[in-house]
Amino acid sequence: MVVVLEKHITPEQKRDLRAYLESKGYQVREIVGQEETIFGAVGIPRVDPREVELLPGVQRVIPISKPYKLASRELKKEDTIVPVGPIKVGGKRIVVIAGPCAVESREQILETARIVRASGAVALRGGAFKPRTSPYSFQGLGEEGLKYLKEAGETFGMPIVTEVVATENVELMQEYVDLFQIGARNMQNFELLKRVGRTGKPVVLKRGLSATIEEWLMAAEYLLAHGTDNVILCERGIRTFETYTRNTLDISAIPVIKKLSHLPILVDPSHATGIREKVPPVALAAIAAGADGLLIEVHPDPSKALSDGAQTLYPEQFEKLMRDIEVLAPVVGKEVAKLPSLEQGRQRGREAEKSSILNSGFRLHSIAVDRPVPHGQVPRIAFQGERGAYSEMATLSYFHFEVETYPQRSFQAVFDAVLEGKVEYGIVPLENSLAGSIHENYDLFLRYPDIKIVGETQLRIIHSLIGLPDATVEGIRKVFSHPQGLAQCARFLDEHPYMEKVPFYDTAGSVAYVAKEGKKEYAAIAHEGAARIYGMKVLKSGIETNPLNYTRFAILARAELEVGEHPNKASIVFSTPDKPGSLFKCMKVLADRNLNMKKLESRPIAGKPWQYMFYVDLELPEDLDIFKEAVAEISTLSEEEVRILGMYRASI
């Protein structure tokens, strides 16, 4: 049962209550939550809960209906966060544990640790004792493997995870491992669960081959009841009639577990699929479904792996997966856990460190215009740059029906094309998550009062090295791209010092130039779509230094062509008198009406030195009258009437 304590319970009352419950045969755990403190009393019921409710310091008693008590969400409302060395599993973090299926040699595990840490894994996995279906298969190196695993973990500052397969190995393994793993075949090896639970160490508990979710949680209950508070569940697929994949990943188990239990849950897509190419998409699906992390098999050369090579990722596959996870994490409101640097790790003695991540407001998501322009004609959209430019890619992502795109030489030309009716819409970038605002476009809004923002989209900027069809990365000597593209791929270019960086006016334009020149020692950095347009070849994809690279684009139209229903965002611009507190008064108008400001940008007013216009992006409430009242009041405080640049739908 759950005993909810009074907020002002005295230490003496708490001590007496614990003693009373223990005298009745209950195991008692105190859980301090954000709103209340409880005693979790677990055992064979020997007292009427109503009697407990009458004791001093008790607010109320809630019986736990589930057969699993300590693992139940009824016992603990908040998610459990499990500390493992310098990392924490659960909560808002996505933890990736990676390594080979089996430790094969000292060199192999050290090289694997180097690879997975460099790509972003925060813990190292590897089997020293291997339970195998065939008695003739590789069974692991035993204690020798544990020593290699521990050395690799210490060398690269990573906690280590390995499977325990027998009770007699628990004591031996304690001094080597940071996180025990109970494999699928041992999920209901109750003596092993009891023995591992008594160590108090964190444990990853894999779901059995044919176990129900309740049986899985009951196995976790054994671990919790015998001493450890830190259990991490791991869904690794169950056995069904389907034989195409190794197992059938029960992805629905993730949200079910989140509802039934407070314990964190990982997913092992390697064992779930058994097929290397299927691991990345299934891994991303698990994150999207709410998993707290992944357990991934990686090997320097899977073709030579002694165990499970077919489901093991190559280093470059794992690197790409990690970059994709970083992109997906903000979408599900989480952060990718990161290790401190090796130097920091040694100085802090494996102290935990929070990961940093891009503001979750940047999302890989497009809000589609749900209908074309009037009269049914194919909409025409102007964008700055050459064919294949990122602006064109954003256009094609945003509009979910057939459109015609028209490249323009400049941003001003985009505004002119819209104003003059040459096109129905225009698209211009407003802000890059790394480089900041594109001030030229903010200024253009002031010069084109008849143009409004009618939509917004964000595009992930994935840079590719593009060359002629017969070119190779090793053969490239000159790389052309926009200066920003070159800067955002600095790490890749530094790793290839023989490549000369040549600034060009446009990313897609640089691809067109390389195609025209026809020299296989030339390459360009641009969106991979430009390669298709100009008949070129992607030599290497995803070469940007920071994968959290997004650009936010505004969709433009003449005021009379504004589209979209139920706007959720607005952009306004105003100026303030040169008096103390002028801007504060305007911001207070928004705060008083609970209007959330998403962005504030100041720009100098042409012809008025040291005077500024303020651009503000706001979330719109359902009641638009609140927004209109705010605009009217700010107009009385500003030097000129507030201009509404647009009210539109966007991904907030």
Who's near 290: CB < 8 A, 6+ residues apart? 254, 255, 258, 265, 332
Determine the residue type at 420. Answer: E
Using alpha carbons only, give the angle 186, 190, 192 rounded to the nearest 5 degrees: 65
Count of residues in the chain? 652
CB-CB contact of 69 with 38 (8 Å): no
Q: Specify whether the backbone of 134 is left (phi greater than 0), alpha (psi in -120 to 50) or beta.
A: beta
User: Any idea which residue has 């012809």 for tokens?
Assistant: 607
Q: Does residue 472 have an active-site annotation?
A: no
Look at residues 469, 483, 471, 474 and name the one whose alpha carbon lies nearest to residue 525.
483
DSSP reduced 3-state for 511: helix
Helix (H) or strand (E) holding 162: strand 160-163
- The single residue listed with the structure tokens 């105003």 is 574
Closest to 381 measured CA to CA, from 405, 397, 361: 405
Cα 114 from Cα 109, distance rounded (Å)? 9
End-to-end CA distance of the chain: 42
Separation of alpha carbons 457 and 363, rounded Å: 9
- AA letter at 275: I
Helix 190-199 vs helix 213-225: crossing angle, to nearest 10: 40
| Choice among 129, 445, 553, 574 that is catalytic | 553
Q: How far is CA 504 from CA 216, 414, 480, 579, in A?
A: 58, 20, 6, 44
- Per the annotation, the verdict on 553 as an active-site residue is yes
Give DSSP secondary structure letters for 100-139.
-SB---HHHHHHHHHHHHHHT--EEE-BSS---SSTTS--
Q: How far is CA 25 from CA 16, 42, 44, 616, in A?
A: 15, 9, 7, 62
Contact 227, 200 (CB under 8 A): yes
Contacting residues for 368 by C-beta, under 8 A, at least 6 apart = 398, 399, 400
What helix, strand, coil percent values describe the chain, rounded to 5?
35, 25, 40
213-225 vs 253-260: helix axis angle to the nearest 10?
A: 50
- Which one, of 601, 603, 605, 616, lies nearest residue 646 by Cα? 616
Q: Catalytic one among 415, 551, 614, 627?
A: 551
For the CA atoms of 192, 198, 203, 208, the dihedral, rounded to the nearest 10 degrees, stands at: 30
DSSP conformation class of 239:
-
Residues noted as catalytic: 551, 553
